Each structure stands twice: as structure tokens, then as C-alpha cells.
A and B are shown apart, each in its own frame.
Chain A
Amino acid sequence: MNLILRGRVWKFGDNISGDDGIINMEVVRTQNYNPDELRKICMWRYVPDFYKKTQKGDIIIAGEAFAHPPHPPVVIALKSCGISAVIAKSFGHGFIRKSLNMGLAAIVSPNALEIGEQGDIVEVDPLEGEVRNITKGTSYKINPLPEFMVEMLEADGLVPYLKREFASQASAGSK
């Protein structure tokens, strides 16, 4: 098992709003969890038509308080645009747990903004705790994630991870 996340950098600053910037208050109020609708509004405040510009595997790096406040549609919107990881100096409360459980690698790192510039190709190795900037030929240390967490990300989140676990328990005949 070696999960490597590879993609182009999207670089943001501080205080990127979750409910009122990555998504909007309307989808929060109506509890809209539809990925097809959420991807079209994703990052509406900061990058018009973000969903048309992203590629699967792209990686966001950001400053302080990324995605505050983070109702679940924030994570769904980012994932539906293909974002595979977010590395930030700090996150809105609740974002880390929601993200990791939905298979989006959210990593706190004080050096988040040093990792690269907009458009650089980077590789994130969560188990090793390393980010390699392929474009610039540099590398950076980040806090590693433990094996169980990387397994959960590989399974694309908590629910698929649990399904796998209970399915193998059922076939093994154990409780």
C-alpha cells in the first residue's frame, strides 16, 4: 500500500470561506449533497468556473482558516472537482474530520504555502510525510498520516473502508 497523490497546485491565501465561498448558503440551507450540482458552484467566490479548470488529482495549498465554516457539501464540492488533497496552515473547525472521512486528504502544515506556486506539479506521500514539487525539483516535510488513515483514504473514505471490513468479516464468518 503506497498512496501517492499527484496533481497540479491550486494556491490560495487565508480565510477561504467554506459555506460562503467554496459553496453557498443556499446549498447549506437546503442540505444539498448532490455532487453534480455542487461541483458547478465550487469555489464560486474565488475562481469562476473552477470545475472547468481542475483535473482529477489536483492539490490545494492554502494559508490559515481554510474552509471555515465547513458544512459537508464543502468537501463534496472539492472532491467532485477532482481535488485529492488540501494542505493548509489551519482549517475551519470540522473540516479535517469531514475530509478524511470522505477520502479527501486534509493535512495541516505550517509550510503549506512554501510547497509550490500555482500550476506546479506536486506529489504528496502521506505515509512518508513528504511533498515533492516535480516542477521545481524540491521537496518538503509534512506531518505523516498513520497507516490506518492512509488505508481509509485509499478506500476513498470511512464508509467504503467499513464496508470492506464488514464484508471480509462476513466472509470469514467472524462477528
Chain B
Amino acid sequence: MPSTMVEKIIAKHSEEPLVSPGEYVMIKPDYSVSSEPKWQVIENMIKDVGAKGFVHPERVVLVIDHSCEVTTHGPIYEYHNLMRSTAKAQGVEHFYDIGRVGLRHQVMVEEGLARPGGLFFSDEGNLANAGAVGALNFAITYEVYVTMIREKNWLRVPESMRIKAVGKWRRGVTARDLGQRICADLGPVGGAEKAHQYEGDAVYSLSMDERMNLLSLHYHTGSDTAVMKPDALALDYVRSRTREPFEVVESDPGAHYSDVLEYNVSQLEPEVAPPPSPSNSKPISDSLGVEINEACIASCGGGRLDDLRAGARILKGRKVHPGVRMFITPISQEIYKAAVDEGLLGIFSEAGAMVLPPSCSTCWGYLGRMQAGEVMIATHQENYQGRNGSREAQVYLANPYVVAASAVAGKIADPRPLLEAN
């Protein structure tokens, strides 16, 4: 029976030769990935069920990435030592402490843990950036502990939906704009019990960074995961990271899909999503002129090297508006170093933006919080009420060109005239 690549990868990790959407299967994942905010609760759950230890510590990935700066907001930095001691006691090789790699999304790809044909459980849907190397992320929040203490956990097989993008990317339009448009078109439940399969020459003309940004946005549609068949560019990336074997899995011709969405990116404008969610995204003209107080380039959906380069293109030779504070967070040490080597951090500093350490930082409101009545524009994942400080503050989501242009203008601004000038 012809199967999609999602169905095939799930089958490979299950006891079945073939799986169908709607089926429940037991999965042995390659990895179980957790960050630190839920770690105390996870340890309590492990103790509560009577487990003694990790069955395969080499398959456990633990990362401190939310509270690396160790500030006073919330108690989660108290869990750092708990995670450290458990990692040591259980012999977890893949434990990434403060200063080591960065966000767990980057750990998975930069350390070569996400590989073509792979499947892992994690705590959040945005780890589907790993889909850019053909690996499946399934987010089960606290439940990641289950495959730390036993071999398998269950999964409901999603339907696959094809999302095909063709055309030429215009100046000032990025993968994020396509991602936000998809979030708006599908809405918060349009992808429920489904997996996004990305294809088309516009997807494959993207850099690895851009592919990861695009795939990381999928979960705002309620979907289970996102993936694309890895091409030569993706395989080169993987081979530069690991010598572990992998298998490129692709969908069979004639496989069944729930939907096919088609986009021509030549027709896309930069998008801006007013609060309260990415599903609220609209073309930029709807939000032009909104005055802002804060601008952020950050997050697992907008803090990669290409995002920093985009910000630098706009900020070079310009200043952040006096009414605006700007925060820029490279999401891994490797990205941070590349930004140094390319002179980007110097551009940011000269422009008056603050560069922050590789971490989740401003995205979840740990840093860069707002007061009542303030407005932010950011490359973050979420913009629900109260996310970034006061419940009476507002967050707009957009690509890094828009964020940087708005930071300069003091209000939401179209970056395209500035890019022409450059």
C-alpha cells in the first residue's frame, strides 16, 4: 500500500510493517528530548510511577535553554541542579548545560541527533525544525519522561497533508511569511491530527535556516509534525554533523493525503500577525504605522543566522528609533560565533540593539518584558495575551526584515523600500 514519508518513518519505529492514519501504535523513539522548565514535575512523575532509572540514557537529550541567564523571574533555575545531578547519575551523554550549543532545537540538528528517517519525542511542536533534515518530532510535553524510563510510548498516526510552494522569493519576503500565511489559512485547528509535508521548488530554494523557520511554525495549525524530504543541501548538512548511518525516506507515488495546499511565493507580501495568535497573520499593509516600544529578533522560529543577517542588512548604517528598545538573540553558540565573524554583532551594537545570550530569552517573556500599554514586534513563536509581560501589552509577529525596519522607524514599517536603497 503506498504510504507517505510520515507513515513510513512511524512504521520504521513501530512494530508494524505499515501504518495507517488514525491507528494507534507503540513507538520506540530515537531520542526523548526535554528542556528544564518542566523538569521538577517530570522527576516527580518518574518517582511517582516507581521507575528506577533511564532505560537507555544514550537516547535521552536534556537541555537548559529557557533560563540560561538565571534571573529572578520564576523558580525554574532551581531545576538546573536537579537536571545536572540526574544527568550525571544516569549517565546521560547528551546533556547540554548553559553555554553548550544553545536551544534544544539547535542541539538536535547541530549535534547530528536529528537524522533523515529519524523520530523523536520532545516537549514542544516547534522542534519540527528537525523536519528540515527529514526527521520527525512528536511533541508530548511532560510525557517525554515515559520513553526515558521504558522502551516505548504510544502515538496516533496522523494523516499527511501536502503543502507545496512554487515561485520566486521576492525581496523582503522570507520563509516565515509563508509559514504565517499557512497558519492564517489553516487556522488553529486546520492541521489537527495531521502532519505537514512540505514540497515544491520554492521550499527547496530556501537555505537550511529558512527551511527550519518554516517547519517550526507548523504547530500553530494544531498539527502533529512537519517534514520535508531531505535534498543534497540537507544531506550535506547532516553529513557535516554526524557519521551515524541514516536512511532517506520519501513518500510513495499514489499515497493518500488529507489536503493539498499550494502557494506561489512570488505573490507573497511580508506578513504581520497582530495578537493574539499566529493564525491572525495578515499582509503587512494591515498593520503599518502601529507605534512600537520593543523589537526582538529571537526564537526557534526566527533567531538563526539568516535572521540575524536580515536584521543586519536593515540596521547597517541606521539607528534603532529613540522610542524603541531592540533585543537580538542568536539561538546557538555556533550562530553567535558566525554572527561575530560576519561583523553582525558590531552592526547591532552600533545601531543601539542589545545582543542577548543564546537561549529562549525574549520569546517566552523571560527577558525583555513589557509594561501595560506597550507594543512589541518580534520573530517569536507566540503572541497571546500576557506572553511578554503585562496582559495589557501587545505583540505582533513578523519576519526579521520587518522587525528591524520597524525598530528603525519606531512603528511597524515595510522593509522593502529600505532593501531597495541598500
Contact = CB atoms under 8 A, between A and B. Distances in A.
B192 A93 contact: yes
Contacts of B143: 97, 101, 158
Nearest to A148: B26
Interface in A85-106: 90-94, 96-97, 100-101
Interface string A55-97: 0000000000100110000000000000000000011111011
Contacts of B222: 68, 92-94
Nearest to A170: B50
Interface string B21-33: 0111110000000
A145 interface: yes
Interface residues of B, number: 26
B52 A162 contact: no
Contact of A65 (B51, B156, B189): B189
A162 B24 contact: no
Contacts of B149: 162, 166
Contacts, number: 67
A92 B45 contact: no
Given A158-B146, A175-B52, A97 B140 contact: yes
Nearest to A149: B24
B188 interface: yes
Contacts of A100: 154
A167 interface: yes
B150 interface: yes
A92 B223 CA distance: 11
Contact of B154 (A69, A143, A148, A159): A148
A146 interface: yes
Interface string A137-175: 000000101101100100000110011011100100001
A76 to B, nearest CB: 15
| Residue among B22, B24, B51, B55 with most chain A CB within 10 A | B24
A97 B45 CA distance: 17
B172 to A, nearest CB: 32
A165 B150 contact: yes
A113 interface: no
Contacts of A149: 24, 154
Interface residues of A, number: 28
B49 A163 contact: yes
A96 B156 contact: yes
| Residue among A65, A94, A159, A170 with most chain B CB within 10 A | A94
B127 to A, nearest CB: 16
Contacts of A108: 22, 193
A17 B4 CA distance: 32
B244 interface: no
B189 A96 contact: no
A3 to B, nearest CB: 15
Interface string B147-191: 001100010100000000000000000000000000000001101
B48 interface: yes
A7 to B, nearest CB: 23
Contacts of A145: 24
A166 B192 contact: no
A161 to B, nearest CB: 9
Interface in B333-361: none
A68 B277 CA distance: 15
Contact of B189 (A68, A148, A163, A170): A68
Given A146-B24, A162-B146, A69 B50 contact: no
Contacts of A148: 24, 26, 154
A68 B191 CA distance: 13
Given A108-B22, A145-B24, A175-B52, A92 B146 contact: no
16 contacts: A65-B189, A65-B192, A68-B188, A90-B193, A92-B189, A93-B188, A93-B191, A97-B143, A100-B154, A108-B193, A143-B22, A148-B154, A159-B45, A162-B49, A162-B50, A167-B50
